[in-house]
Structure 1
Amino acid sequence: MAKNDLLGGALWDAYSNNVARRMDNPTHLGVLTEEDAKAKNAKLIVADYGAESCGDAVRLYWLVNEEDVIIDARFKSFGCGTAIASSDMMVELCLGKKVQDAVKITNLDVEKALRDDPDTPAVPGQKMHCSVMAYDVIKKAASIYLGKDMADFEDEIIVCECARVSLSTIKEVIRINDLKTVEEITNYTKAGAFCKSCIKPGGHEKRDYYLVDILRDTRLEMEAEALKAKADKVQIGEIAFVDMTLIQKNKAIDKAIDTYIRPMLMMDGGDMEIIDIQSTDDGHTDVFIRYLGACNGCASASAGTLYAIENVLQEHLDPNIRVLPV
């Protein structure tokens, strides 16, 4: 049967001929029994997995020998044609592999194996979830055989099942490339390019993580880190004095005085304190100070010492600083 006859015309050209053929005539459709297992001295594994979003389900049969090799496999699928084709290819990829290797097969491997040519997707994006179901039933079968939980086979949190994109990858790409929209995330990672259920709530399948939330939370983290970095720069004098807030200017002037000025004054028994800092309309920063100890009433307090203090602050912070004693 021709693909267009099977699928209903040009609208379905997004499906590969390989998919169409397996829809109509799957190679590995069938059932394996305990009798089959005994005849081949193998262990029978039967795994069921269903997709709540669409109601599709697949049952996978494995015969596994003493070396953990899958020597025979069959499937039954309760769902659409794409689910049948994906399950058929999934079984084919499992055959001859050890269980520990079969569990490494992903939905992307299934989809790529169904392509007619390497550069053309085998199914439209909205049907990629069918290959995800085939991938998940492999994990279910392996978990039964190895006595593990399905989650043990996942190294990372997968946000986009269709493109197998992890949470850590999405967050890293947002940070490295300063991404600001979901569309940019999709362009960089392919997450959200297929069935789109991972983009935001309300899609065909409920998810634990959505791109809109990951983007928002990561951007908030980035902004908080940027603010902290800016504050850290203030502490070490890496931000321009003119760009500082009045509080930041106060801290910067205090630090400069403690580092460069106060030790000099204290050598002669004197000291000083900042009374006020004001920014003027003409771009100056006026620093009002009061002398303490031996500096109070000293003849040079309004001349040489004042000039020295002002010069130090202008040199290390900003040339528009003026120091005024009160």
Structure 2
Amino acid sequence: MAKNNLISGSIWDEYSQKVQDRMNNPLYMGEITEEEAKAKGAKLIVADFGAESCGDAVRLYWLVDEATDTIIEAKFKSFGCGTAIASSDTMAELCIGKKVDEAVKITNLDVERAMRDNPDTPAVPPQKMHCSVMAYDVIKAAAAQYKGVDPEHFEDEIIVCECARVSLGTIKEVIKLNDLKSVEEITAYTKAGAFCKSCVKPGGHEEKEYYLVDILRDTRAEMEADAAKEQAAARVAALSGEQGFDEMSVVGQLKAVEAVIDAEIRPMLAMDGGNMEILDIKKDEKDGKIDIYIRYLGACSGCASGSTGTLYAIEAVLQENLSPNIRVLPL
């Protein structure tokens, strides 16, 4: 099942000696039959995984002692490049002697580190890290088959960087906690994007659902929106003192409304080329409502949703932040 795995010239320098040895002389390549499983009183697990990005595929065989859930033997077959063979061979070796729940915790980084000649030098070039990811994925497939669950059962979060196994939640959290402003900083903190770089931006060797450039942009926008909301809340609190919005002077109410609009409403309208202005604030003595008269500007002027969806959204934001008695009336 193996493709030609010859590598020529200086490219050899990018591969550890362990990788080269396993490319040419894998120790665990082969298959395990049902007859062998019965002879050893173990359960045979056969799992397959293929990587669409490169066309490589691997089949993993496990013999599992069901009394202890321990993997007593592991072999593989690989249809792929030399790095895929070396990664699969290393992966099979790492599985042996582990319980299934322990084996499923083996990551692609564990596989890559096990193939290094020394701890500080990567075993393979960055663009080949996806081969060790395939080894990780076939372990999940085997464990899922043994336990009778879906492979996704073993994923807690959306993985953005497969090479470094970095999740979307981790990336967003690190950006916020450390006020990161560049993809390079994300990579320095998390290792995401340090290897094959497919997750950095569109156009890499593998298409991704999430890219670091987009996550950074969206997270920074969230941070700015949150900061604006906090500033608006502080301004409203400073203006109101011990008073509630309903008891403020008209001038105070106007300033408080403008603060909320600047933080939460104008950015929303600006996305569609629109804006708005406050014309007046009056209290309706009959029902106690505080009427805020507004006028739409730009693209919002004459828009049909100005009297429906957009109006309801503006009113809801002001009611939530200032007073449930607010009523918004467009002119």
TM-score (norm 2): 0.70
Q: Which residue number in structure 2 is paired with residue 38 of structure 1?
A: 38
AA at the equivalent of 2:210: Y
Deviation, structure 1 residue 49: 0.2
AA at the equivalent of 1:56: D
Q: Which residue number in structure 1 is paired with residue 24 of structure 2?
A: 24
Q: What does the per-residue CA deviation read over 1:303-324, in whole Å, with 9 as the maximum and x for residues that have no partner?
A: xxxxxxxxxxxxxxxxxxxxxx
**For residues 65-80 of structure 1, what are the structure 2 equivalents within 5 Å?**
65-66=65-66, 67-80=68-81
1:100 paired to 2:72: no
Q: Which residue number in structure 1 is paired with residue 189 of structure 2?
A: 188
Q: What does the per-residue CA deviation read over 1:239-269, in whole Å, with 9 as the maximum and x for residues that have no partner?
A: xxxxxxxxxxxxx3xx36969xx9xxxxxxx
Question: Which of structures 1 and 2 has the bigger CA Rg?
Answer: 1
Q: Which residue number in structure 2 is paired with residue 113 of structure 1?
A: 114
Q: What does the per-residue CA deviation read over 1:208-266, in whole Å, with 9 as the maximum and x for residues that have no partner?
A: 211111111101100100100100110222xxxxxxxxxxxxxx3xx36969xx9xxxx
Structure 1 233/8 Cα, relative in aligned 2: closer, same or farther at 3 Å? same
Deviation, structure 1 residue 100: 1.3
Deviation, structure 1 residue 12: 2.8
Distance 1:8 1:165 in 2: 33
Structure 1 190/257 Cα, relative in aligned 2: closer, same or farther at 3 Å? closer
Instruction: Give the secondary-structure state (helix, strand or coil) at the position aligned to 2:14.
Output: coil
Q: CA RMSD in A?
A: 2.4
Deviation, structure 1 residue 11: 3.1
Q: Identity rate of aligned residues, in percent?
A: 70
Q: Which residue number in structure 2 is paired with residue 83 of structure 1?
A: 84
CA contact (8 A) 1:6 1:20 kept: no
Q: What does the per-residue CA deviation read over 1:194-221, in whole Å, with 9 as the maximum and x for residues that have no partner?
A: 1111112232222221111111110110
Runs of 5+ consecutive residues of structure 2 not aligned to the other structure: 255-331
CA contact (8 A) 1:59 1:76 kept: yes
1:49 paired to 2:49: yes
AA at the equivalent of 1:35: E
Deviation, structure 1 residue 273: 7.3
Q: Which residue number in structure 1 is paired with residue 164 of structure 2?
A: 163
AA at the equivalent of 1:69: T
Deviation, structure 1 residue 183: 1.7
Aligned length: 247
Deviation, structure 1 residue 178: 1.3
Q: What does the per-residue CA deviation read over 1:167-199, in whole Å, with 9 as the maximum and x for residues that have no partner?
A: 111111111121122122112211011111111
**For residues 1-326 of structure 1, what are the structure 2 equivalents within 5 Å?**
7-66=7-66, 67-237=68-238, 252=239, 255=240
AA at the equivalent of 1:202: G
Q: What does the per-residue CA deviation read over 1:98-124, in whole Å, with 9 as the maximum and x for residues that have no partner?
A: 111111100000000000011111111
Q: Which residue number in structure 2 is paired with residue 288 of structure 1?
A: none
Distance 2:17 2:165 in 1: 24
CA contact (8 A) 2:6 2:82 kept: no
TM-score (norm 1): 0.71
Q: Which residue number in structure 1 is paired with residue 326 of structure 2?
A: none
Distance 1:20 1:234 in 2: 65
